[in-house]
Structure 1
Amino acid sequence: MRIHHDWKGLPLDARGATVAMGNFDGVHLGHRSVIDAARAAADAPLGVITFEPHPREVFQSGAPPFRLMNAESRANRLARLGVEHLYQLPFDTVLAGLAPEDFVREVLVEGLGVRHVTVGADFCFGRKRSGTAQTLTSLGREFGFGVTIAPLIGDGQNEYSSTAIRTALTEGRSRDAERMLGHWHRIDGEVLHGDKRGRDLGYPTANMAVNGLHLPRFGIYAVLIDVLTGPERGSYTGVANLGVRPMFAGDVPNFETHIFDFKGDLYGEHVSVALVEFLRPEMKFDSLEALVAQMDQDSAKAREILAAR
């Protein structure tokens, strides 16, 4: 998948796609229906138009973190779905200030040269969100590209939504989140140097930053790990801790993953960690020996869960 960070100056082979457009936070089953509709709409390369940072981060900069995915995680998921071009447009005051007609003319037509655009039925765009899916349909006729409005879908009772997925993750219901997402919820990013306490305890971990993300329930998880770069690239199983590590008087949320039966060096590499099942909350133990004994139990339970999945 090719990632483009602007709509200006694109090479000819990056123009003329059939695109799905939206924020696609989580890339849940509702989002996938929009992407599938774009795939079926025209005989052209499949693209996705999205925005970075998320518009809500610009307009509500003081709000608590809400994103299910960072840009890297979203791109990884879209690549798995067969998207050929990701147009990750820079969302700033210039883009936010475009009237719907100007956005269509400057971005979609002159910039990207789109063949067809698919959006969800609740899609809004342009200055003060004044453009709707119906507005886009009218402008598509005027400027010569097709538009498909994909209906909102759900499980028969509720529409799939990022809000419902956030609630499930906050409550530690990873499998419920997976049913709405259509895939495991993942945290993706670079492996960073940490304090290396896990190594001293016999449980070395791959540490990742989680700032800017909506955080699932703090605690221990059975996880699946994809190492995406470097000589150790491949798929593994493990156990992870998300939280502030009360045993060590931490206060900044951290995500650290112990990969079973792994001996390699992952510093600087990029990994994707799927939260399969919540095992227990974070705890403070009376001794390091008690902590290690509990980690042994957590690992055994995680191995059992992952072997039966």
Structure 2
Amino acid sequence: MEVFREFKDYNGTEPLALSLGMFDGVHKGHQSILQEINRIADQKGLKSSILTFWPHPRLVFNPDAGLKLLNTLDEKTELLGKFGIQLLFLKNFDEEFRNMYGADFIKEILAGKLHVRYLIIGHDHVFGKNRSGNFKLLQEMGPEYGFEAEQMEVVNLHNNNISSTKIRNALSEGRIEDANEMLGYHYPVSGTVIHGAKIGRTLGFPTANILTDPQKLLPKKGAYIVDVVLGSQKYQGMLSVGTNPTVDGTSLSVEVHILDFDKDIYGQPITVQFRKFLHDEIKFQNLGKLIERLEEDRTLTRRFFVAN
């Protein structure tokens, strides 16, 4: 997949099948759009492409709202590539772009710069200043600028529509299985292994502390069963999101104990993939009670992987 961070870097003249949107999470609803883009591209001899924005427009319009995202930019790029998209345009959502009306965006960018011949948008997608761009406008302008437009139906799961907001809510409530089902994959959190207080090692449960992207959504505080990806290897792990209240911790941390593992991985990239919520964060009366619970969690983690 070719990635273009600015339109000025793209000088292609080949006609495109394109979809635009945030694609935060690249969930099953998004995946249906990607499949349709690829199908249309193959059918009509076009290049499959996606136009997405960074940062998220909601972070620009309301920076104090504290929105957390399902994907970092690298994660979203990797996911879109896995679904066979040929071209990815990452448009900086700056002041100039946010003030562009929908009709000008269609004329100057979609038709003029990107040579779009088939455009697919989600069921509720709007774009341009004052939300002036929508499916109706695309239908009206399509004949003049030589493109067809299609609006995808909402994707439902158990009679509920899938959305990035619903996935965020599920993760924030610890409903990992629900979130993973809507995503179509196990929710990942990536980062770099950093030095921590090393308390876990003294308890017989050494942990890798993970420095994560501050805009990445972390599931609710508590203990989890996770897959741990280091390079090309995958391991089993139990993870804590929290402040370590038993030892009077105050700052939020992400720590993973990797089962049957004893290697120095400081400074290395690491990804954890959430599989199951074990329990809420607990402040134990003493370290002995904490160790007992860690041993119980480890037993549950081993049983989970035997069954799954």
**TM-score normalized with structure 2 length:** 0.89
- 1:35 aligned counterpart, secondary structure: helix
CA positional deviation for 1:211: 2.2
Q: Which residue is 1:157 aligned to?
A: 159
1:95 matched to 2:97? The reply is yes
Please state whether the residue corresponding to 1:62 is helix, strand or coil: helix
Closer, same or farther in 2 for the Cα pair 1:264/1:119, shift >3 Å?
Answer: farther
CA distance in 2, matches of 1:240, 1:133: 44
1:247 partner amino acid: T
CA shift digits 1:189-245 (9 cap, x unpaired): 333443333344332314132522343221000011233xxxx42222211111222
What is aligned with 2:278?
279
Give the equivalent residue in structure 2 for 1:290.
289
Aligned to 2:6: 6
Distance 2:46 2:198 in 1: 49
Q: Give 2:218's aligned residue.
A: 215
Identical counterparts, % of pairs: 33
| Displacement after TM superposition at 1:89 (Å) | 1.2
Displacement of 1:19 in angstroms is 2.2
Q: 1:212 & 1:70 partners in 2: Cα distance?
A: 7
- What SS does structure 2 have at the residue aligned with 1:198? helix
**CA positional deviation for 1:10:** 1.6
Seen in structure 2, the aligned counterparts of structure 1 residues 104 and 269 have a Cα distance that, compared at 3 Å, is: farther
Tell me what 2:84 maps to. Answer: 82
SS at match of 1:275: strand
**Cα pair 2:176 2:277 within 8 Å, conserved:** yes
- Is there any run of 5+ residues in structure 2 with no aligned partner, and where? none
What residue in structure 1 maps to residue 300 of structure 2?
301
Per the alignment, in what secondary structure is the counterpart of residue 106 of structure 1?
helix
**Paired residues, what number?**
304
Structure 1 unpaired stretches of 5+: none
TM-score, normalised via structure 1 length: 0.89
Query: Where does residue 190 of structure 1 map in the other structure?
Result: 192
Task: Tell me, yes or no, if the aligned pair for 1:223 and 1:238 is still in contact at 8 Å.
Answer: yes
Superposed CA deviations along residues 130-161 of structure 1, whole A, max 9, x for unmatched, are: 11122123333322233221111212522112
Q: Is the 8 A contact 2:193 2:208 kept in 1?
A: no
The AA in structure 1 aligned to 2:229 is D
Q: Which residue of 2 aligns with 1:255?
A: 254
Structure exhibiting the larger radius of gyration computed from Cα positions: 2
Q: Which deviations, in whole Å up to 9, do the C-alpha atoms of 1:2-48 show, x marking residues without a partner?
A: 332112122539x6442221111121111111111111112333322
8 Å contact kept, 2:189–2:218: no
Deviation larger for 197-206 or 99-108 = 197-206
- Seen in structure 2, the aligned counterparts of structure 1 residues 133 and 240 have a Cα distance that, compared at 3 Å, is same
The answer to which of 98-107 and 286-295 deviates more is 286-295
* 1:116-136 deviation digits (Å, cap 9, x = unpaired): 221112110011211112212
1:41-60 mapped onto 2 (5 Å cutoff)? 41-42=40-41, 43-60=45-62
The residue type equivalent to 1:2 in the other structure is: E
